């Protein structure tokens, strides 16, 4: 067999491995997105203030959860390296340390937020809508109660992905999201003896589903016969050596997420100053855009796990091939879904709202956003590759440059100097993702990420 045929065969095997890891994550993202869509649609039926309130709280929760998503990433990367090294005994210890960290961190963050709900939300909403603020405070207080359960779910799911098992998190997500949707319908609008609870019902549905996801994934950890079953949990002792290893990935990842989410929240304050219609429209368009991102999110999960595992096994050539194949597939997928968003912009917006102002503004923003989709695809996949390699400091730098140096400043300039309104946000997306695409592409081409120790 010639070298060309061998390379083609190897590339085909890499593609198969990518899809094996990616498709359950894509399905999981579809389920998560479905819950988001249902929640936003239901809030739209209650009113524009409820829509804006839920969107605002989701933005704040994304900021809070950024720390724990980074912890999950740290767990995935360290476990995947150990899996590639065939160090199965240490995987169980790593998972225990991640759970201990998540419990402590959730208490440190959630308890103060419970006492400072209104001041926190007021910062980002301003004084534009008293109704939206009151609803947001009520909703925020309820869903904070589900955060500890969700955090433990995240880190355990990260361990499953680290050993190449993306099906178990998908299964757990399916059960918890179906539960979330069912409870939302009953608790928001009432059914039988259950009285309508409005936005509070959506909060309780979310909280109950998150605790259910924790219970279920811990049960799957015990019952699993797949890769994670080799990682027996024999001790619950604190292991500082493993905590340091998790933190080596997790702390830069947390800082990166905080930089990103902090930028998003600053954007939120700018958008809130544009009025309730602009704020509600932004939440709807963001929700719709998540549809285009489902394939890329799955591919990013596959990229992180594959790169970590292959680097742990010292197979640098396969790691490089997996990285680039994920990039090419991601760009093609997100470009196609971006085109679909343009074609179906009108019916998608009508699914969320009947407000003419929201509809008109949202459709124009979707058209601009379609231009950004290919760049967003490159950014998300290459950043996932670099996280898997442990090159998270570079991702942190690029996030700061793109979001704070380009997105935020461009939005402010276009909004205040050219009176572009909400459209300024999406033109700023183009500036942000354009510069980050260039920075990531150069980094991936140089290949230094393959030699980082984790």
pLDDT digits (tens, 9 = 90+) for 98-135: 888 888 888 888 899 899 888 888 876 655 567 778 88
Which residues are bridge partners to 194 per DSSP? Answer: 191
Which band of pLDDT confidence, cut at 50, 70 and 90, is reported for residue 2?
A: low
Which residues are bridge partners to 191 per DSSP? Answer: 194
Instruction: Give me the mean pLDDT over the 371-378 stretch.
Output: 88
In three-state secondary structure terms, 309 is helix
Q: What is the pLDDT of residues 221-254, one digit of tens each?
A: 877 655 566 656 666 677 888 888 888 887 887 7
Percent of the chain at pLDDT exceeding 90: 13
CB atoms within 10 A of CB 352: 24
Q: Which of 245-254, 295-304, 352-361, 376-385 has the highest mean pLDDT?
A: 376-385
| DSSP helix, strand, coil percent of the chain (3-state; round to 5) | 90, 0, 10
pLDDT > 80? residue 38: no
Q: How many angstroms separate the CA atoms of 140 and 60, rounded?
A: 9
27-36, 313-322, 426-435: which has the minimum mean pLDDT? 27-36
Q: What is the pLDDT of residues 193-205, one digit of tens each?
A: 888 888 888 899 9
Instruction: Give me the mean pLDDT over the 280-300 stretch.
Output: 80
Instruction: Give me the mean pLDDT over the 324-328 stretch.
Output: 87
- The per-residue pLDDT for 144 is 93
Q: How many angstroms separate the CA atoms of 41 and 38, rounded?
A: 5
Cα Rg for the chain, rounded, in angstroms? Answer: 22
pLDDT > 90? residue 215: yes
- pTM exceeds 0.85: no
Instruction: Give me the mean pLDDT over the 337-363 stretch.
Output: 85
Residues whose CB falls within 8 Å of the CB of residue 294, separated by 6 or more in sequence, listed in order = 26, 29, 30, 33, 337
Residues whose CB falls within 8 Å of the CB of residue 366, separated by 6 or more in sequence, listed in order = 285, 288, 289, 341, 342, 345, 348, 349
pLDDT > 80? residue 8: no
Average pLDDT, the chain: 83
Q: Residue 373 in contact with residue 335, Cβ under 8 Å?
A: yes
């Amino acid at each position: 067999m010639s070298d060309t045929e061998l390379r083609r065969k190897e590339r085909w095997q890499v593609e198969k491995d990518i899809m094996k890891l990616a498709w359950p994550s894509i399905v999981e993202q579809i389920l998560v997105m479905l819950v988001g869509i249902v929640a936003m649609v239901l809030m739209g039926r209650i009113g524009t203030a409820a829509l804006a309130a839920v969107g605002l709280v989701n933005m704040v929760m994304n900021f809070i959860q950024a720390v724990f998503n980074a912890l999950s990433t740290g767990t995935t990367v360290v476990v995947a390296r150990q899996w590639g090294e065939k160090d199965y005994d240490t995987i169980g210890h790593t998972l225990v340390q991640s759970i201990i960290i998540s419990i402590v961190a959730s208490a440190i963050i959630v308890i103060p937020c419970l006492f400072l709900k209104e001041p926190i939300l007021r910062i980002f909403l301003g004084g534009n809508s008293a109704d939206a603020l009151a609803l947001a405070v009520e909703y925020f207080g309820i869903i904070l109660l589900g955060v500890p359960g969700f955090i433990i779910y995240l880190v355990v799911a990260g361990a499953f992905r680290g050993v190449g098992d993306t099906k178990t998190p998908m299964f757990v997500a399916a059960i918890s999201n179906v539960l979330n949707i069912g409870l939302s319908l009953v608790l928001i609008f009432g059914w039988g003896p259950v009285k309508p609870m409005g936005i509070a019902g959506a909060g309780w549905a979310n909280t109950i589903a998150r605790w259910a996801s924790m219970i279920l994934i811990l049960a799957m950890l015990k019952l699993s016969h797949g890769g994670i079953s080799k990682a027996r949990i024999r001790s619950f002792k604190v292991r500082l050596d493993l905590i340091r290893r998790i933190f080596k990935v997790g702390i830069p990842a947390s800082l990166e997420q905080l930089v990103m989410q902090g930028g998003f929240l600053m954007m939120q304050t700018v958008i809130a100053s544009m009025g309730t219609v602009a704020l509600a429209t932004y939440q709807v368009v963001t929700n719709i855009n998540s549809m285009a991102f489902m394939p890329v999110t799955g591919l990013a999960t596959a990229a992180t796990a594959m790169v970590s595992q292959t680097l742990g096994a010292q197979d640098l050539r396969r790691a490089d091939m997996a990285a680039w194949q994920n990039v090419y597939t991601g760009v093609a997928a997100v470009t196609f879904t971006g085109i679909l968003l343009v074609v179906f912009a009108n019916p998608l917006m009508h699914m969320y709202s009947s407000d003419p102002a929201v509809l008109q503004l949202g459709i124009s923003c979707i058209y601009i956003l379609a231009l950004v989709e290919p760049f967003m695809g490159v950014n998300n996949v290459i950043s996932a590759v670099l996280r898997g390699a442990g090159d998270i400091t570079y991702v942190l730098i690029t996030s700061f440059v793109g979001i704070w140096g380009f997105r935020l400043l461009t939005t402010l300039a276009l909004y205040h100097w050219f009176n572009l309104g909400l459209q300024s946000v999406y033109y700023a997306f183009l500036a942000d993702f354009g510069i980050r695409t260039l920075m990531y592409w150069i980094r991936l081409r140089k290949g230094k990420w393959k030699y980082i120790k984790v």
